[in-house]
């Protein structure tokens, strides 16, 4: 009897990631799913519809991830999000700077990929600066600062940092019981808030964007944590999650994968390099968005307005690269994927991304007023 090897599972992981990301890219393009836009609509116009779409994605991801975990299909504690060491300063600083960056760069990591697929050359520049800054924060000079200054400021928790583990530690009952209770409570409360709006309920696209984004994240957990899981690698005799850059189970995140995509293209002839879950997901979003744009006739080339516009997008991409790696994720990676694990760090990052974006938008508005008065 032949043993299953990592090579046997790689196609399931990479093509599964690509297909899910393709769907996300196409639907994101159609529905204008944009987390930066969600904050902008709220701060500048008092319109919560796109924020509700983001919250709907979180609700679906929380409920779906809990279902997978309770069914025994995945173990979310084997992701990067639930570690007992809470890097609270990294989440705060990284999240805030990512929020600033996505505002200056006209969108988060996922929106950048969607816009690249739609012909936006500004987003291509953001992609490059985001990817390079992310790589510098993973393994370069920014990483030295992150490791020496931010990451050491942490809290060692008595259990994993996800809410079910903490509740089980402090209040009794099993973790599985708390997974069911807290996921139902948080997911249910978000759904009630989302659909309390008649305006939101009247638009199919709002529901489509939120539900598909949440389901794609759940599907990502299944692909990486179940289809790509080996209880024992025949070569190392250790458990393995195939074709992931972290060596852990992954779902969707769009900061580190952009760095690894650039790295893969630079080391194309190195036979030891493989297309990973993250690389396949980044390419899938671009392909899905491009397919939708071409099919609907909405593909348009778009460039920079002027030098200041160029500079702002370059700075935005750099801040997103640094902030996203420092906070362990972006508006999707932490704001939906990490949130689905109910990790405290993910929730903290979500809050500070929104805060960083909101503050930046207020500053931009103040600048516009001063220029108008001058």
What DSSP assignment string belongs to 33-93? Answer: --HHHHHHIIIII---HHHHHHHHHHHHHHHHHHHHHHTTS--GGGSSS--SEE-HHHHHH
Question: In the prediction, which pLDDT does 104 show?
Answer: 97
What average pLDDT does range 112-125 have in this prediction?
97
- Residue pair 108/254 in contact (Cβ under 8 Å)? The answer is yes
Question: In the prediction, which pLDDT does 372 show?
Answer: 82
Residue 174 lies in a domain: yes
Which residues is 224 bridged to in the sheet?
A: none
Question: In the prediction, which pLDDT does 249 show?
Answer: 96
Residue 229 lies in a domain: yes
Tally of domains within the chain: 1
Residue 344 lies in a domain: yes
Strand segments (E) across 204-298? 229-230, 240-241
Residue 146 lies in a domain: yes
Confidence of residue 236 (pLDDT cuts 50, 70, 90): confident
Mean pLDDT, the chain, integer: 96
pLDDT at 367 over 90: no
Strand segments (E) across the chain? 85-86, 155-156, 229-230, 240-241
Question: In the prediction, which pLDDT does 2 show?
Answer: 64
Distances (CA, A) of 193 to 49, 145, 336, 350, 352: 11, 40, 17, 18, 21
Three-class SS of residue 343?
A: strand
Residue 192 lies in a domain: yes
Residue 86 lies in a domain: yes
- Residue pair 255/134 in contact (Cβ under 8 Å)? The answer is yes
Residue 1 lies in a domain: no
What average pLDDT does range 176-205 have in this prediction?
97
Residue 241 lies in a domain: yes
Distances (CA, A) of 333 to 82, 204, 213, 337: 13, 25, 12, 5
What is the domain range of residue 10?
Answer: 6-373
pLDDT at 322 over 90: yes
pLDDT digits (tens, 9 = 90+) for 44-75: 999 999 999 999 999 999 999 999 999 999 99
Confidence of residue 183 (pLDDT cuts 50, 70, 90): very high
Confidence of residue 374 (pLDDT cuts 50, 70, 90): low
Token pair recorded at residue 350:
């979500």
What average pLDDT does range 130-135 have in this prediction?
98
Confidence of residue 370 (pLDDT cuts 50, 70, 90): confident
What average pLDDT does range 98-127 have in this prediction?
96
- Residue pair 157/84 in contact (Cβ under 8 Å)? The answer is yes
């Amino acid at each position: 009897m032949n043993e299953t090897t990592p090579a046997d599972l790689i196609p399931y992981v990479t093509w599964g990631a690509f297909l899910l990301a393709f769907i996300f890219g196409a639907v994101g393009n159609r529905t204008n799913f944009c987390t930066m836009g969600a904050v902008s609509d709220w701060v500048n116009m008092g319109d919560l519809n796109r924020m509700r779409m983001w919250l709907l994605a979180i609700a679906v991801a929380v409920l779906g991830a809990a279902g997978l975990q309770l069914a025994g299909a995945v173990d979310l504690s084997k992701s990067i999000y639930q570690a007992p060491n809470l890097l609270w300063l990294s989440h705060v600083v990284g999240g805030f700077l990512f929020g600033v960056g996505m505002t200056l760069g006209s969108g988060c990591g996922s929106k950048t990929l969607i816009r690249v697929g739609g012909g936006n050359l500004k987003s291509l520049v953001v992609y490059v600066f985001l990817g390079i800054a992310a790589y510098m924060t993973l393994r370069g000079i920014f990483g030295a600062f992150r490791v020496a200054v931010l990451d050491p400021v942490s809290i060692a928790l008595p259990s994993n940092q996800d809410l079910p583990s903490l509740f089980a530690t402090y209040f009794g009952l099993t973790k599985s019981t708390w997974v069911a209770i807290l996921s139902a409570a948080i997911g249910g409360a978000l759904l009630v808030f989302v659909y309390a709006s008649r305006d939101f309920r009247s638009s199919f696209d709002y529901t489509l964007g939120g539900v598909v984004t949440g389901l794609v994240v759940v599907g990502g957990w299944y692909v990486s944590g179940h289809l790509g899981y080996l209880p024992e690698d025949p070569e190392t005799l250790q458990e393995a999650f195939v074709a992931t850059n972290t060596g852990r189970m992954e779902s969707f995140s769009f900061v580190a994968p952009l760095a690894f995509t650039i790295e893969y293209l630079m080391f194309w002839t190195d036979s030891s390099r493989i297309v990973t879950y993250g690389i396949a997901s980044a390419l899938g979003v671009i392909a899905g968005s491009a397919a939708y744009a071409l099919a609907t006739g909405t593909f348009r080339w778009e460039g920079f307005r002027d030098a200041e516009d160029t500079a702002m997008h370059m700075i935005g991409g750099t801040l997103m690269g640094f902030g996203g790696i420092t906070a362990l994720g972006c508006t999707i990676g932490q704001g939906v994927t990490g949130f689905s694990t109910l990790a405290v760090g993910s929730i903290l990052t979500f809050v500070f991304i929104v805060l960083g974006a909101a503050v930046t938008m207020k500053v931009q508005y103040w600048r516009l007023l001063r220029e108008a008065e001058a």
